[in-house]
Homo-oligomer: A and B are copies of this chain.
Amino acid sequence: MADKAALQAEYDAWKAKGLALNMARGKPSSEQLDLSRPMLGLLGPESDLRSADGTDLRNYGVGAGIPEARELMATMLDDSPERVIVGGESSLNLMYDAIARLWTFGTLGGDPWGRLDHVKWICPVPGYDRHFAITELFGIEMVNVDLREGGPDMDAVEELAKDPQVKGIWCVPTYSNPTGRTYSDETVERLAALQAAPDFRIFWDNAYCVHHLYPAPQQSRVKDIAGACAAAGNPERALKFASTSKVTFPGAGISALAAGPETVTEITRRMNVQLIGHDKLNQMRHVMFLRDAGGIAEHMAKHAEIMRPKFELVECLLGEELADVDCSWTHPLGGYFVAFTAPAGTAGRIVQLAKDAGVTLTAAGAPFPYGKDPDDATIRLAPSLPPLEELEQALRVFCCCVKLAAAE
């Protein structure tokens, strides 16, 4: 370990540069967003604005999405188009709405969760802060379970799920936020077969399902949870979500959910009260631009060209700078994040040191329910947004802060 005075001097030198760098959120870079610019030219004033079945894309209707868009999103969701509902620009909104409906109306004859004395939820950690914010807002008690190499600690999940107050679990099965870990087949099968309440629901947020950094065969597809649930006799257990937020434009993409046959019918009936239909013009833009699973894969390969050097820089720089520190980090093959494990008790300090030196990181604790990391050790690194040169600077500052905090 380097001498603390030398580290402090290095840190002060970084601080003196007056940097303003950001590794906080999983935002695509401007270069990635440019990849989808051509999509904006696909529907113009002279375009035929009808779907294949003749629907006027400019007028009311088609709550579940135009058939072409359901087909496209079915490829991301590993499901059949008739079980797919296309949403608006945000899959997070679809998840929020799904919980809100379960809360107020219940599902398939079960009690509304809001009428129960207490509702609990399994949260694999580290996980996605915005998932936890939803369950927190509804007053659902969140219970941590370790997220390991092939998914959550399933022994713990199986034990927890026996409690009828436990109504669901958050899952990011592919390149999980923030670890980048992907669920194994065994995890999927054990989730599908859980002994749990009849209205226990798996929220399967496959946000990074096509977001591979390397070409096949390294990019293996996660086993489909819906098929596994059906095979285990629980056909209504999984709600699957995906979006084009990190395929085309975050906030101006399209989202979708898939669910069991009875659940899709129930959701459709309730959604038809909520709104008449989502933006079909934007659905058609996406269909024309991405075409099908092959088109998505081609497009994502271009994203990978931009993302790969950034992830490799993280891997390389951390290895180079932090060899002597008692820390570790994940080595994702896709997704948007690296989870860094600092010496216990130093994560908050590192984030603060970095901030003071002009590098914004995700808040320490954010990947845990209630923002509380029991070990104060996990930091989410989000290398996508900054250009490579800025990323390198930000990472060097980060490493300096890790070493300084460890020395303190």
Contact = CB atoms under 8 A, between A and B. Distances in A.
Interface of A: 25, 27-28, 30, 33, 36-41, 43-47, 56-62, 88-90, 92-93, 96-97, 100, 103-105, 114, 130, 133-134, 137-138, 245, 249-252, 270, 273-282
A134 B272 CA distance: 10
Nearest to A278: B89
A37 B30 contact: no
Contacts of A58: 33, 36, 249-252
A321 to B, nearest CB: 29
Nearest to A92: B275
| Copies of this protein in the complex | 2
Contacts of A47: 40
Given A60-B250, A137-B273, 17 more contacts: A25-B60, A37-B45, A38-B45, A39-B45, A40-B47, A58-B249, A59-B249, A89-B278, A89-B279, A90-B276, A90-B278, A92-B276, A93-B274, A96-B275, A97-B274, A104-B104, A252-B282
Contact of A250 (B27, B37, B59, B252): B59
Contacts of A277: 89-90, 251
A45 B40 contact: yes
A130 B137 CA distance: 28
Contacts of A273: 96, 130, 133-134, 137
A137 B270 contact: yes
Contacts of A40: 43-45, 47, 281
A55 to B, nearest CB: 10
29 contacts: A25-B60, A27-B60, A33-B56, A33-B58, A33-B59, A36-B58, A37-B45, A39-B45, A40-B45, A41-B44, A58-B250, A58-B252, A59-B250, A60-B250, A60-B251, A89-B277, A92-B274, A93-B274, A100-B104, A104-B104, A104-B114, A105-B137, A114-B114, A130-B273, A137-B270, A252-B280, A252-B281, A252-B282, A282-B282
